[in-house]
Amino acid sequence: MLKEFKEFAMRGNVLDMAIGIILGAAFGKIVTSLVSDILMPPIGLLLGKVDFSSMFVNISGQQFASLADAKKAGAAVISYGVFINTVIDFLIVAFVIFLLVRQINKLERPKAAPAPSTKECPYCLSGIPLKAVRCPQCTSDLKAA
């Protein structure tokens, strides 16, 4: 049983998938940092010094100065600022994956088939050169066809 598991785990597809998942998780962390640490601060500054990650709606009925205070107290809040950051994360990751898949599809696209060099005789259905005016098999005149 251990031998079968080893053969399964060492197959190319399983290793490729594992590497893809690890790289995808690391890429997700990079994008999250890009959005929350680089993109959102200037956007928040342009929109009037707004910090999206601290935006929330308090539905517990108590007053809290910040999202951290509300979460520390265990209050019910809707963290829509964090949701906005997550949506932007998703859009960036989806766009990058789209570009990657598009490039891979261009590389793997089958090349166009070469133009045919033969045609079919309408009388005997044998293959003949395109420029032929008489079929070499049945000697039919192809100009009449």
HEC letters along the chain: CHHHHHHHHCCHHHHHHHHHHHHHHHHHHHHHHHHHHHHHHHHHHHCCCCCHHHCCEECCCCCCCCHHHHHHHCCCEECHHHHHHHHHHHHHHHHHHHHHHHHHHHHHCCCCCCCCCEEECCCCCCEEECCCCECCCCCCECCCC
Using CA atoms, how far residue 78 sits from 29, 43, 59, 108, 129, in Å, is 23, 21, 7, 45, 74
| Average confidence (pLDDT) over 29-41 | 83
At residue 74, does pLDDT exceed 70? yes
**CA–CA dist 3, 126 (Å, integer):** 57
The percentage of residues in the chain with a pLDDT greater than 90, rounded to a whole number, is 0
At residue 4, does pLDDT exceed 60? yes
| Average confidence (pLDDT) over 22-29 | 85
pLDDT tens per residue across span 88-137: 888 888 888 888 888 888 887 777 778 888 899 888 888 989 888 888 88
Please give the structure tokens belonging to residue 138. 């049945």
pLDDT band at 145 (very low <50, low <70, confident <90, very high): low
Domains of the chain plus CATH, in order, are: 2-109 (1.10.1200.120), 114-145 (no CATH)
pTM above threshold 0.85? no
